[in-house]
Structures are given as C-alpha cells and as structure tokens.
A and B are shown apart, each in its own frame.
Chain A
Amino acid sequence: GAGVSQSPSNKVTEKGKDVELRCDPISGHTALYWYRQRLGQGLEFLIYFQGNSAPDKSGLPSDRFSAERTGESVSTLTIQRTQQEDSAVYLCASSLAPVNEQYFGPGTRLTVT
C-alpha cells in the first residue's frame, strides 16, 4: 500500500522567506511526527500529533516553527522567516498508536541561502 509521502522533495529558499512542508501519512495512522535531521546529526524530534488530542510541540526549536494537522490526515510544517540554520532534511513519520512502529516519509531537503 501507499507509504508516507512528503512534498516538496527539495526546497531552496532565501533567508527570511516562509516555507511550508507537507506530509501525507499512511491512511488510518492516527499518530504523526515531524523530525529534523541536520547534516551529520541524529534525528531531532519537532512535534507529535495523536488523533484529536492537543499536539506535543515540545520539540519545536522556536516560535518561527508551527505545524497543523487536518483531522487524521495531512500535516503541514511551516517555518517563518527562515534562517540558514534551518537548512536540514525534514522527515515526517506516522504510526498506529499506541504501537510505535513508525513509518517514515522520504523527507524534504530544505536549503536556506
């Protein structure tokens, strides 16, 4: 079946511009996660959505980062006023909570120039 999809696959933006990254989770997966992976570093948790509960935003690095999820489907991660240190691969994952076997999307590579 279809896996987790993300778009765009690559995004180059100028410093100071806003960007939106999209994630389509596996159908029926109630949990959705966003991670960031900077070059040479491990995955960094950003935000977690579970059903209709309030999202866990504890990993968002600054108030320039926000995310929304429509019901149990699409999620959008928005970065406002991008900075060069935002350059990274942004990965989305979904899972059938509470079993936490996460399935990852292909990621969006964001480059801020």
Chain B
Amino acid sequence: EDKVVQSPLSLVVHEGDTVTLNCSYEVTNFRSLLWYKQEKKAPTFLFMLTSSGIEKKSGRLSSILDKKELFSILNITATQTGDSAIYLCAVEQYGNKLVFGAGTILRVKS
C-alpha cells in the first residue's frame, strides 16, 4: 500500500525559531515529491523535488529530497506568525496521481 507519513503531526514554536518538517514515503512509481502549504481550505504549492541532494530554496523556506532513504524535509527559518498553516507532503506517481500525507500543523506564536 502506498503511503506518505509526515512528522510531527503538530508543532508550536515562537517567532524567530527554525523548524524542520519531515516526510517519509513508501510509494510505487515515484516521480516527484511536492510540498504544499494549506491555510483555510486550498493548499498552495511550495516545492517540487525530483532529484536527491539538491536543495530548493524560496526565501526562508528550503527543502531537500533523499531518494535512497525515501524522505524529504522542509525547513523554515526565522518563523513568522504568517507561517502558521498545515504543511502537506505529497508524492507524485507516474500516471499523475498524488499520494498525500496527513500534514503537519504548524503554529507560530508571537
């Protein structure tokens, strides 16, 4: 059975802290791994990772993929209250299907 597991399930930090969110997967026909940020109802796209060891960065966010150990991490530095959201990890399979993890709920306190 294909599965994506995210940890921790939830996290509370203070503004300025650095957080690391984890995503491990066991999915057949792996094509890419994606990270989304979900506030309210609709997730917004953050990163797509296809190759191991290549870090992707966008401002205070960065992510890296390890295809040998089957995991990815999402780092957020200097967290802000606006970073509070659910962070979703998904693995795309060939055939354009996505398998989602349950998400990590991040709350940043001021």
Nearest CB to that of B36 among chain A residues? A104
The docked-state distance in angstroms from the alpha carbon of A33 to that of B95 is 12
Q: Count the A-B residue pairs with Cβ separation under 8 angstroms: how many?
A: 58
The docked-state distance in angstroms from the alpha carbon of A43 to that of B34 is 13
Interfacial residues of chain B within 38-55, with CB under 8 A of chain A in the complex: 40-45, 48
Which B residues are in CB contact (< 8 Å) with A45? Answer: 97-100
Which A residues are in CB contact (< 8 Å) with B48? Answer: 100-101
Which A residues are in CB contact (< 8 Å) with B97? Answer: 45, 48, 56, 58-59
List the 10 closest A-B pairs by CB distance, nearest first.
A107-B41, A43-B100, A42-B100, A42-B102, A104-B42, A106-B42, A100-B92, A104-B43, A89-B41, A101-B45
Which B residues are in CB contact (< 8 Å) with A103? Answer: 45
Which A residues are in CB contact (< 8 Å) with B90? Answer: 43
Q: Would A50 and B42 be within 8 Å (CB), given that A42-B88, A42-B102 are in contact?
A: no
Binding site for A on B (CB under 8 A): 4, 31-32, 34, 40-45, 48, 88, 90, 92, 95-103
Interfacial residues of chain A within 89-113, with CB under 8 A of chain B in the complex: 89, 91, 97-98, 100-107, 109
Shortest CB–CB separation between residue B49 and chain A, in angstroms?
12
Q: 21 A-B Cβ contacts within 8 A?
A: A33-B98, A41-B102, A42-B4, A42-B102, A42-B103, A43-B88, A43-B90, A43-B100, A44-B100, A50-B96, A58-B97, A91-B41, A91-B42, A97-B96, A100-B34, A100-B96, A100-B98, A101-B48, A102-B34, A105-B42, A109-B41
Which B residues are in CB contact (< 8 Å) with A33? Answer: 98
| A-B contact sample (19 more), CB < 8 A, given A45-B100, A101-B48 | A40-B102, A42-B88, A43-B88, A43-B98, A43-B100, A45-B97, A45-B98, A45-B99, A56-B95, A59-B97, A89-B41, A91-B43, A100-B48, A102-B34, A102-B98, A103-B45, A106-B42, A107-B41, A107-B42
Shortest CB–CB separation between residue A59 and chain B, in angstroms?
8
